[in-house]
Amino acid sequence: MVHDVDEAGFQQHVLDRSREVPVVVDFWAAWCGPCRQLGPALEAEAAKRDGDVDLAKVDVDSNQGLAARFGIQGIPAVKAFRDGRVAAEFTGAIPPAQVAAFFDGIVPTEADRLAEADDEESLRRALELDPAQLDAAVKLARLLIANGEGDEARVALERFPDDFTASGLLARLELDAEDAAAPALVAWDDGDHGRALELLQDEIATAGDPGRIDLLRRVMVAIFTELGPGSELAREHRRRLSLAIT
């Protein structure tokens, strides 16, 4: 969808709409030669992705408040909105191939959409289409772990050694069901993060083996990641963990 947007409709047609599909906003003006050069390329890429992205055109001469609000100092200026926020942007006329790459970066792929599902078939298909689809790998690994298929879960996770959640799940696979940490892992699976972290803190406090301590630490870091940077629970346990292992 391509349409003109003014200040009165910006909230509805850009910010609110971006919670459903990405919205690319083209800040332009009729007198701007590069804008006339870039505009057709933007419209062509939006048309190719009909239904997956909107293109909103904002005339900066008629909507100077919007231009000021988003810090537009030169045009054409293009900003992509997702979930009510600017997710990507560029300034100036760029070649059509770069415009296409810009749209590719903000529009969910088929693998991305499949990764939003919770069934094993969809998650496996997502990884077939994009082996680097981290969300699908983590969700699939959780299902496999719950089904007792640890070896296959390990295969799904090992391609993401630098991801905290994947690392934590790999660590839990090293802690077998008879390990004293098993109740903490059950609490994690049940979504009881507070209990899981308390039990893991207790295990770290009594563990003497550095290798086991590291496994427990990795599980805790995965839980911190799930809770998010704004979590007070994560902050408190991160502080306690730091004191326990130093």
What is the bridge-based pairing of β-strands 23-28 and 54-59? Answer: parallel
Active site residue 32: yes
Helices (H) and strands (E) in the chain, counts: 13, 5
Q: What is the rounded CA–CA span in Å between residue 31 and residue 41?
A: 18
Which entry of 35, 93, 227, 234 is annotated as an active-site residue?
35
| First vs last C-alpha separation in the chain | 56
Contacts of 2 (CB under 8 A, 6+ apart): 43, 46, 47, 54, 55, 56, 57
- Alpha helix positions (H), 61-157: 64-69, 96-106, 110-115, 120-129, 134-146, 150-157
- Count the neighbouring beta carbons within 10 Å of the beta carbon of residue 232: 8
For residue 59, the surrounding DSSP H or E stretch is strand 54-59
- Count the neighbouring beta carbons within 10 Å of the beta carbon of residue 169: 26
The separation between CA 72 and the C-alpha centre of its own chain, rounded to angstroms, equals 27
Four-residue CA torsion sign, 116, 118, 119, 120: positive
Structure tokens at 40: 């057709």
Which entry of 5, 23, 25, 32 is annotated as an active-site residue?
32
Q: Which residues are catalytic?
A: 32, 35
